[in-house]
Amino acid sequence: MSVSTTDAGPGTRTERAPGPSARPPPPTHTLRPRVWRERWSYTFIIPGAAFFLVFMYVPMAGNVVAFQDYSPFRGIEGSPWVGLANFNAIWTDPEIITALRNTLIIAFLQLAFAFPAPIALALLLHSLLSTKVKRLIQTIVYLPNFLSWVIVISVWQQVVGGGGLVAGLLDNFGVTGFNLMSDADNFKFLVVAQNIWKDAGWGTIIFFAAIAGIPSERYEAAAIDGASGWQRTWHITLPALVPVATLLLILNIGSILTVGFEQLLLQQPMVGADAAQVLDTFVYFRGVLGGQWGIATAAGLLKGIIGTILVLSANKLAKKMGGEGIF
Amino acid sequence: MATATVSRPPWMNPPSVWVRAIKAIVIVCIVITMIYPLVYVIAMSFAAPEQARAGVIFPTKFSLDAYRAILNGGTVVDGLRNSLFITVVGTLLSLAATSMLAWGLVRTRQVPGAKIVLVGILATMFFSAGIIPNFMLIKYLGLLDSTWSLIIPGLISAFNMIVIRNFFQGLPEELIEAARIDGAGEWRIFLQIVLPLSKPVLAVMGLFYAVAYWNTYFNALLYINDSTKWPIQVVLQQYVLAGVAIPGAVVTEGQPPPPGVTLQMAVIVLATIPILVVYPFLQRFFTSGVLTGAIKG
């Protein structure tokens, strides 16, 4: 703030006629009293701001090891700089190609199936007339969102895993060896199914908020004009959900390279790395467990940068197409 | 579906029997898919050994042996204790830190620099430094193998801070101004006026924090080597998913231990119970608009 006034000088400021800008930036000489007057506010802000600085911004600097042959024993100061060698190594690493492919396939399946699931569920629940039944079903479908992935995977293991509930039922019909949890071929569909089970219910909450904002006269007028139930859903309810859906889509595209890290990490031992390695698990296994810190950090950094570019461009695209962006 | 309490708007034609039947079937299927796995796991954790070994859809004979064996002491009890500590201490600290910051950032117009801090915090919702830099930071801070490594990095969630700040902005300004004129200090205003008025939002956010702390898994995997300091989620992963035998899980010496499957189910249930207990409280707020308003805003 002080920078903006130095070029103008205090003299010119006092003589300035009230221009089109409604609130000119405050002159330097009043900043200090303002800070002093609000000193109490800083006792509230500084601890929290320090937290974000240390735990969100300082680690960003740690990404410099992507340009080093880093080893924890030598530290950042002692590790040799290698330029872009880690990034070059990424492109020839067969494991990261697998990880990238798996990530993109899962992300695509998520967009195709897990993304529309809450919209469909919200429409279905919205069509129920009894608020009591609606409440009850909402209570049930929201619950899995609050369970950890460890619990979700454990429960699925007991139901569709080897020796689980479904396997036991199939045994009675002479079908043996059913184990969906270690089926590498269908693993990616399993991942999406788990996602829908855990999060689709909770995902409806934001669509309900959008539906609640639709004035009921609109439905009434449409019904009087002869629109059927489907037509009312198609022409009134769905368009009202578009802004929220766009916003969520932008966020989803930004995190397209981040697919359920804990979920995949937990299941990788059951189906193997070929089916379940994604970029995040690659970073973990290669870096933290494998000790190749440089290349793993480089992969993580690249992923972060691409994610940021994706969310910014998706945002721009949404604005260009006449919708509302998130910022 | 159509109970006596329902009033269909006069302009709405009643749907055909087929539509209603299909809707009912779909909804029943959804409800069963969502709830039956959990019911099954809970039921099987109480199943008598012979039924658990045979594998049934729903047990008819029950036994508490699995719980007796697990709660005897050892890893699972350690895990529950660690998770309880992380959850209680973490939630209290998080609420204190988050509400303080939110109150400080309410008056971005008047406080020089507050706007910059706010934007800087909002930006963190769209990026993350990555696993390895975070690991290096925790190591540098000497928090590896410390329970605090599971609390401090998650102390303030930017999203929760925004929700609380939104609520604070809706408090009656005259009330706070009046207290200020009466000579109350800022801390006194915060502790005696702002916080008591914000109980609903603090309750929701507290429950959200508590759920997050209870569900801590990956950070513990990353930062904690010492198995006596593991939270329950890591214990669950080790003994249920990775299939390691639970050490010391015997009811009485000389008798066969309960079957592995009931032990596993019992660990799942113990890790889930706190969530099931707080869920009804959490659920009350979903419809109250505290959350949806904040998400939209």
Smallest CA-to-CA distance from A154 within B31, B152, B40 is with B40
Q: Give the whole-angstrom CA distance, residue B27 versus residue B33.
A: 10
pLDDT tens figures, B241-291: 877 776 655 555 556 667 778 888 999 999 999 998 888 877 777 655 545
Task: Name residue, tokens 């003994």.
Answer: B239
Q: With residue A303 as reference, give the H or E element that holds it.
A: helix A293-320
Q: With residue B285 as reference, give the H or E element that holds it.
A: helix B260-286
Judged against a pLDDT cut of 70, whether residue B75 lies above it is answered with yes
Judged against a pLDDT cut of 80, whether residue B73 lies above it is answered with no
Percentage of chain A exceeding pLDDT 70: 89
CA dihedral A306, A265, B91, B167 (to 10 degrees): 40
DSSP B257: P
B43 touches chain A (CB under 8 A): no
Percentage of chain B exceeding pLDDT 90: 47
CA distance to A122, A206, A309, B208, per residue, from A210 (Å):
10, 7, 28, 23
B104 touches chain A (CB under 8 A): yes
Judged against a pLDDT cut of 70, whether residue B294 lies above it is answered with no
Task: Name residue, tokens 């590498």.
Answer: A184
Task: Name residue, tokens 């007796």.
Answer: B68
Q: What is the mean pLDDT of chain B?
A: 85
Cβ of A206 and B292 within 8 Å? yes
- Domain annotation for chain A: domains and CATH numbers: 2-78 (no CATH), 85-320 (1.10.3720.10)
**Phi/psi of residue A68, each to 5°?**
-125, 160
The predicted structure's pLDDT at residue B287: 58
Smallest CA-to-CA distance from B231 within B241, B245, B218, B242 is with B218
The predicted structure's pLDDT at residue A36: 84
Cβ of A288 and B27 within 8 Å? no
A159: tokens are 């139901």
Across A89-93, average pLDDT: 86
Asked if B52 and A158 touch (Cβ cutoff 8 Å), the reply is no
The predicted structure's pLDDT at residue B283: 75
DSSP-assigned beta bridge partners for residue A142: none
Q: Give the whole-angstrom CA distance, residue B95 versus residue B157.
A: 10
Asked if B232 and B83 touch (Cβ cutoff 8 Å), the reply is yes
Across A19-42, average pLDDT: 68
Residue of B nearest to A48 (CA): B101
Residue of B nearest to A194 (CA): B34
pLDDT tens figures, B214-243: 999 999 999 999 989 999 999 999 888 877
Across A196-209, average pLDDT: 90
Sequential DSSP letters for B123-190: HTTS----HHHHHHHHHHTT-TT-GGGGTGGGS--HHHHHHHHHHHHTS-HHHHHHHHHTT--HHHHI
Q: Give the whole-angstrom CA distance, residue B114 versus residue B112.
A: 6
The predicted structure's pLDDT at residue A41: 87
Judged against a pLDDT cut of 70, whether residue B154 lies above it is answered with yes
Cβ of B133 and A45 within 8 Å? no
Name chain A contacts of B139, Cβ cutoff 8 Å. 72
Q: ∠A248-B202-B217 over CA atoms, to 5°?
A: 60
Smallest CA-to-CA distance from A41 within B40, B191, B245, B110 is with B110
Q: Give the whole-angstrom CA distance, residue A76 versus residue B47.
A: 55
Q: Give the whole-angstrom CA distance, residue A159 versus residue A161.
A: 6
Q: Give the whole-angstrom CA distance, residue B201 versus residue B48.
A: 44
- Cα-Cα-Cα-Cα dihedral sign, residues A127, A129, A133, A139: positive
Interfacial B residues in 179-218 facing A (CB < 8 Å): 185-187, 190, 211, 214-215, 217-218
pLDDT tens figures, B27-49: 999 999 999 999 999 998 998 88
* Amino acid symbol at B249: A
First-last CA distance in chain B: 34
- Domain annotation for chain B: domains and CATH numbers: 77-296 (1.10.3720.10)
Across A1-16, average pLDDT: 39
Name chain B contacts of A72, Cβ cutoff 8 Å. 136, 139
Name chain A contacts of B103, Cβ cutoff 8 Å. 44
Cβ of B56 and A52 within 8 Å? no
Q: Give the whole-angstrom CA distance, residue B62 versus residue B55.
A: 13
A30, A45, A310: best to mutate for the B interface, most B CBs within 10 A: A45
* Nearest Cβ partner for A141 among B30, B111, B296: B30
Q: Give the whole-angstrom CA distance, residue B236 versus residue A274.
A: 25
Q: Please state the length of chain A.
A: 327
Name chain B contacts of A224, Cβ cutoff 8 Å. 11
Neighbouring C-beta atoms of residue B98, cutoff 10 Å: 26
DSSP A66: G
Cβ of A168 and B55 within 8 Å? yes
CA distance to A117, A192, A201, A271, B57, per residue, from A109 (Å):
12, 7, 18, 18, 32
Name chain A contacts of B6, Cβ cutoff 8 Å. 129-130
Task: Name residue, tokens 């205090």.
Answer: A10
